[in-house]
Structure 1
Amino acid sequence: MHHAEPIEQDTPRFTIPAGEIIGWRDRGVIRATGILYARTQRFCAPEDEPPATDLIYATKWSPALPQNTIPELNEALGVSAREFHPREGELHLSVTVPDSPSTGPRPVMVWIHGGSYVFGAGDLSVFDVRPLALEQDVIVVAVNYRLGLLGFLGGYANRPANLGLLDIISALRWINTNIAAMGGDPSNVTLFGHSSGGDAAAHLMIAEGTEGLFQRVIIQSAPLGISRGRAKMSAKMSQKAVTLKDDAPLDEILRVQPHVAKAARGFGLKSSMPFGSQYGHYPLPAESQADAAWRRVAPKFDVFIGHTAEETAMFLVMSPNLMRLRKLPLIGETATRAMVASTTHKVYKRDALKFARRHAKAGGNAYVYRLDWGKGRYPFGAAHTIELPLLLGEPASWQYADLVKHVDEATLLEHGQRLRALWADFARDGQLPPTGQLEPQIMEWWQAS
């Protein structure tokens, strides 16, 4: 990417260990977007990108990693398929820095997007981190990592497992090396991950090679209730994937991926997220050692973990069959509500509480939250992903999202500012009042003991 045009006087530049970076200004923040942090060969661990000798033009959004689009999810989030320009072989991150003088190094918040380990990208417009950086005077880094068959199966035929986790670790190394020169504090880094991104953040606490790379984690709606006992399911999926050649065309890999996912059927709720992190494969400990590993690292991390009141209502809305059941007179709404309550408990709530208690008992600092925002609003209620319009983006980013269709802009903005303040307060020093709530009925939290 060689630009011959002269660089204007006030164009933001960062001279960092990775090279000389040219960024861009955007309504109160400076962006350095689409920075290459590692390269990948298919089914291999990432290779950190060496320092560049040429200027790095960080002026385009990070391209998405290869994935199949999920139309129902696009509609819920108001995302257009046009936003995905997938590129294989390169991994990117984007940095957003407040465009104002700072009194000292700023806290760093690292966004790990969710999407069941098969979908999503850090720079989707609905995930815009600008309001968070601007209002809270923090630096926010959004990371892309490999997904699906290319990032979260492995463990068969010399193909390593957990490649997507290794990608994120590579990004964290980049941040650790370079963020001080961009005004950030490398000793005050908070991961905040949603759904599978929260699952990744939790597992990065016990992954090899992450020592000192982050100090706090915010784990949002992680499906920890289905993260164990997956070995048989993964093995069955691997049998389907093993016929793929290493150099198969990318569209063939994406075509085969749903068939590999289908092999997970019959494994109960776990099969709703067939791809995932795998214990007993580098960089993760054996499953039987995981609890001990989390206890061991507890004193090193501050944890803020929680779930929404009606997580699985999201998947209800995305299922035509369940929506038909929901519309049955008299029993429909009651039956589906009971189902949402029990699956929310099994997949998200029970294990979030367990995680926090174990952390606190082992000498770590942990808070638990429950997000109630949107409760009673048809059809989603306080569903999975409902905090994202409050945390990321702004009303304009979310104007096409079914999730918040009937919420006016002023409410979205005001409630969003409250949630962003809470997330950033935790990121600054890992401390929150021992109990509290965000009014009106946004969420409540308490300290685990």
Structure 2
Amino acid sequence: MSHLLAFSGAASAAAAVILAAVLAVALPPPPAQAQDAAPIVATPEGQLQGVPSKGVLSFLGIHYGADTGGANRFLPPAPPPAWGGVRVADRMGDRCPQPPVNMPPEMASVLSFSDLPTSEDCLVLNVWTPAVADNAKRPVMVWLHGGGFFLGSGGDKYYEGSNLSRGQDVVVVTLNHRLNVFGYLQLGAEAGPQYADSNLAGMLDIVAALKWVKANIASFGGDPDNVTIFGQSGGGSKVSTLLAMPSAQGLFHKAIIQSGAAVKVGTLEAATTTRDKLFAQLGLQVGDVAALRALPTDTLMKAGARAGLLAYMPAVDGETLPTNPFDPVGSPLSAGVPIMVGSTKDEATNVVLSDPTWQTMTEADLTTRVGGIVGPAEAANTIALYRAQAPNDLPMHLYTSVMTDMMFTASSITLAERKYAQQAAPVYMYKIDWNSPVLGGKLRSPHAVELPFIFDNVDVSAGLVGAGPEQNAMADLMSATFAAFARTGNPSIPGAPAWPAYTPQTRETFIYDVRPSVVADPNGQLRAYWAARAAQPEPAESPIQGVMDGKKFE
């Protein structure tokens, strides 16, 4: 296999120590110590007092928009109300409405979601900064959380921004925005022109947050002219979508798309079908938005959740979202924005961890499941191709390798190719090969494995990545390269292999592992296989639909 394998035992620990020592020269000097006295920052809405947090300052639960409930439900975000006096910004705001996730014990031990309260007054953001009012003009990194367009929040523990802010001298912002039925319900012309953007309300929330950053972040020690948006999974899809939205242009200058390259988004036809099913389920006439607005938050959330995670997403409407982000070509709106894009080696192991039959798959099971992805006639050929790459893999891992490439790897490469074709700004490709030791190592390099490393939060993420010198070295490497890209538009750092921009001619890809490397066209035979299949019809049902459908939610 062309990717590097993770080391184990003493050799792994030794390599991690060496890498950490080398990377020490790459890290920026420590920022000035956060002020002893918690500072007060003035915003147009009122004054905010920050609090010390691990050597930096945090400003939590800042409202960038008004309450989205009641008469504001389904409408574009409105400005937040002003307040008098000084507001102490010492706690995160509510999550946006979403159903609880029923995770089996193993999955619950690996993945963690915030348990903060939910409400429709949820348009809040959090800021971590080394210092304020010092004219430092630090790079600003605005994080968009995962969970599809359906669940999640900027308050999950993986995203706590203190260590990234302190270690890399950057300003970190995380935010909440409307989700699921509240943020992505296509109400249609029957509802009236004021609801024309209901299917994009959640995306317009993010645009409003970015406008807040542009107007205010200089007061928090950041540079409004050097803003990077980055996100993983659903967050990566949100980053992709913003690249094609006219209202977002000029609000960010670089973009990082992690395991969520949205070459295409939804259609109005599919969104309208979801709407019709919801109204029928509730016994309402299509267009009766007054009745929909009158429903209690929990009632509407539960009804919407029955459609499943994949039913809610932005749809191209020709105006607010004129085109798909990268189909058939990259949106010209963001041609000049440098991009980092990539995925992990074993994304799908986390996707199927809730499936009790995954680990006991037989050869017959493998053939059936792969046939559901590529068609029964092609299953044997696909399995043979993957088995040639990994002859010792059990059916469980051959299956997740196929799923990973179909769901994540292929779209990341397509996006990189179409970005390159614009010939206006570079695109940098990465792949994460580092294997997590948790659950006996069966997850390998799963979906979300990079989150503790980018935010340098290994200390609270042992359930996902374990702990030790290897994990600390990976955090040093990933936080430094991501911050370097945010700072300059180039992720290369001293002490690590030079990271060239991606081209279809050489396909050079940075491999994140204990010993990082740059590989030309990693797993090229598999890449070519999926490229050849790209024009073929997709199966009627996505192979992940059964894992992510409404049965997961209460």
Range of TM-score over shorter length? 0.7 to 0.9
**Residues 90 and 317 of structure 1, relative CA distance in 2, 3 Å threshold:** closer
Which residue type is aligned with residue 129 of structure 1? G
1:374 offset after TM fit, Å? 1.1
The aligned amino acid for 2:79 is: D
Q: Of 297, 315, 322, which residue of structure 2 is paired with 1:278?
A: 315
2:266–2:315 CA contact under 8 A, matched in 1: no
Asked if structure 2 preserves the Cα contact closer than 8 Å seen for 1:66 and 1:86, the reply is: yes
Paired with 1:233 and 1:298, the residues of 2 have a C-alpha distance of: 26
Does the alignment pair 1:67 with 2:98?
A: yes
Counterpart CA distance in 1 for 2:318 and 2:332 is 19
| Structure 1 residue 131 corresponds to structure 2 residue 171 | no
- What does the per-residue CA deviation read over 1:54-98, in whole Å, with 9 as the maximum and x for residues that have no partner? 3232111122111112132871545366x2211213410000001
* Range with greater deviation from structure 2 (312-321 or 48-57): 48-57
Counterpart of 1:296? 332
Query: Which of 369, 384, 387 is matched with 2:447 structurally?
Result: 384
Instruction: Determine the structure 2 residue equivalent to 1:410.
Output: 469
Q: CA separation in 2, counterparts of 1:220 and 1:290?
A: 16
1:14 equivalent in structure 2: 41
**With structure 2 as the length reference, what TM-score do the two structures score?**
0.70
Of the structure 1 ranges 234-243 and 190-199, higher mean CA displacement relative to structure 2 is found in 234-243
Count of residue correspondences:
424
CA distance in 2, matches of 1:443, 1:230: 39
Q: Distance in 2 between matches of 1:335 and 1:232?
A: 37
Give yes or no for the alignment of 1:189 onto 2:227.
yes
Shift of 1:9: 8.6
Alpha carbons 1:367, 1:446 under 8 Å: kept: no
Q: Rg: which structure is higher?
A: 2
Give the CA deviation at 1:232.
4.2
Residue number among 183, 202, 221 corresponding to 1:164 in the alignment: 202
SS at 1:110's partner residue?
strand
Contact 1:119-1:147 at 8 Å conserved across structures? yes
Looking at both structures, which has the greater relative contact order when contacts are Cα pairs under 8 Å and sequence separation is at least 6?
2
1:354-402 CA-to-partner distances (Å, cap 9, x unmatched) read 1112112212211111111117863211111111121225233224x2x
Q: Which residue of 2 aligns with 1:95?
A: 127
Instruction: Specify the code of the residue in structure 2 equivalent to 1:182.
Output: F
Instruction: Tell me the alpha carbon deviations over residues 264-312 of structure 1, each in whole angstroms, 9 at most, x when there is no partner.
Output: xxxxxxxx6222121116521144x964773413442010001111111
- The 5-angstrom pairing of residues 205-216 of structure 1 reads 205-216=243-254
Q: What is the TM-score normalised by the length of structure 1? A: 0.85
Q: CA distance change for structure 1 residues 42 and 70 in 2, over 3 Å: closer, same or farther?
A: same
Alignment of 1:92-241 (within 5 A): 92-99=124-131, 104-156=136-188, 157-158=190-191, 159=195, 160-222=198-260, 224=262, 227-228=264-265, 230-241=267-278
- Matched residue of 1:117: which SS? coil
Measure, in 2, the Cα distance between the counterparts of 1:257 and 1:346.
28
Cα 1:9–1:306 shift into 2, 3 Å: closer
- Hey, what does 2:279 align to over in structure 1? 242
Paired with 2:428 and 2:241, the residues of 1 have a C-alpha distance of 18
Distance 1:16 1:259, change over 3 A: closer
- The letter for the 2-side match of 1:218 is I
Which residue number corresponds to residue 419 of structure 2? 359
Larger deviation, residues 166-175 vs 278-287: 278-287
Aligned partner of 2:299: which letter?
Answer: E
C-alpha separation between the residues in 2 aligned to 1:90 and 1:179? Answer: 20
Q: Kindly indicate whether the alpha-carbon contact (under 8 Å) linking 1:389 and 1:416 is maintained by their aligned counterparts in 2.
A: yes
| Paired AA for residue 57 in structure 2 | I
**Where does structure 2 lack aligned partners over 5 or more consecutive residues?**
1-34, 283-291, 370-392, 492-498, 501-507, 522-554
Contact 1:23 1:57 in 2 (8 A): yes
Identity, % of aligned pairs? 25
2:224 corresponds to which letter in structure 1? P
Structure 2: how far apart are the matches of 1:96 and 1:19?
A: 18
What is the 5 A alignment of 1:422-441? 422-432=481-491, 433-434=499-500, 436-441=510-515
Name which of 373, 393, 414 aligns with 2:434.
Answer: 373
RMSD value, Cα? 3.0
The answer to whether the 8 Å contact 1:36/1:93 transfers is: yes
- Runs of 5+ consecutive residues of structure 1 not aligned to the other structure: 1-7, 262-271
**In structure 1, C-alpha distance between the alignment counterparts of 2:102 and 2:56, rounded to whole Å:** 32
Matched position secondary structure for 2:173: strand
Q: Distance in 2 between matches of 1:330 and 1:235?
A: 35
Higher strand share: 1
1:329-365 CA distances to partner (integer Å, 9 max, x unpaired)? 9999633323222222222111211111211221221
* Offset at residue 135 of structure 1 (A): 0.3
Pairing 1:316–2:352 present: yes
SS at match of 2:330: helix
| Aligned counterparts of 2:274 and 2:366: Cα–Cα separation in 1 | 41
Q: Counterpart of 2:444 in 1: which secondary structure? A: coil
User: Do structure 1's residue 79 and structure 2's residue 112 form an aligned pair?
Assistant: yes
